[in-house]
Structures are given as C-alpha cells and as structure tokens.
Amino acid sequence: MLGEVVGIHIDDSLITDGMVDITHARPIARLGYMDYCVVDDVFEMLRPASPQAAMAAAQAVTAQ
C-alpha cells in the first residue's frame, strides 16, 4: 500500500524547544506476532560519510 501525506497535526504539548518530543508522545509500534514497543528513549547516531566508512566502522566494532 502506498500513500501520500498531505498534512499533519501535532499537538502543541508535544513541542519542546521547537521540535517534536517523541518520548512525550510515547507512540506504540507493532513488532510482529504479539509483540509491541513504546518509544521511551531517544539517542543520536551520526551518519557515516560514505558506504566505505560505514563498512569500516562496522568491521572495527565486530573486531573488538
């Protein structure tokens, strides 16, 4: 199924410092079978500069 988002509404109570605070919204996601999860923690992860840098980083982690 494909669709096009043409508009959204975000409650003002979910905005913190001009950004959506997803941990305040606590959305529920279905994982499969009877499993679900709730977003209650957020972290940052920098994107690698290139696919080669991503592979090098992954190999360095698995070598440890």
pLDDT tens digits, 2-54:
999 999 999 999 999 999 999 999 999 999 999 999 999 988 888 889 999 88
Closest residue by Cα to residue 48 from 31, 60, 40: 60
Residue 60 pLDDT: 85
Total number of domains constituting the chain: 1
Residue-level pLDDT at 39 = 92
In a domain, 53, yes or no: no
Query: What pLDDT sits at residue 20?
Result: 93
Identify whether 28 is part of a domain. Answer: yes
| 62 within domain boundaries | no
Domain range for 35 is 10-44
Q: Does a structural domain hold residue 3?
A: no
Does residue 57 carry a pLDDT above 90? no
Which two tokens mark 55? Answer: 């592979």
pLDDT of amino acid 15: 95
Cα–Cα separations (whole angstroms), residue 60 to 4, 36, 44, 45, 57:
40, 32, 20, 16, 5
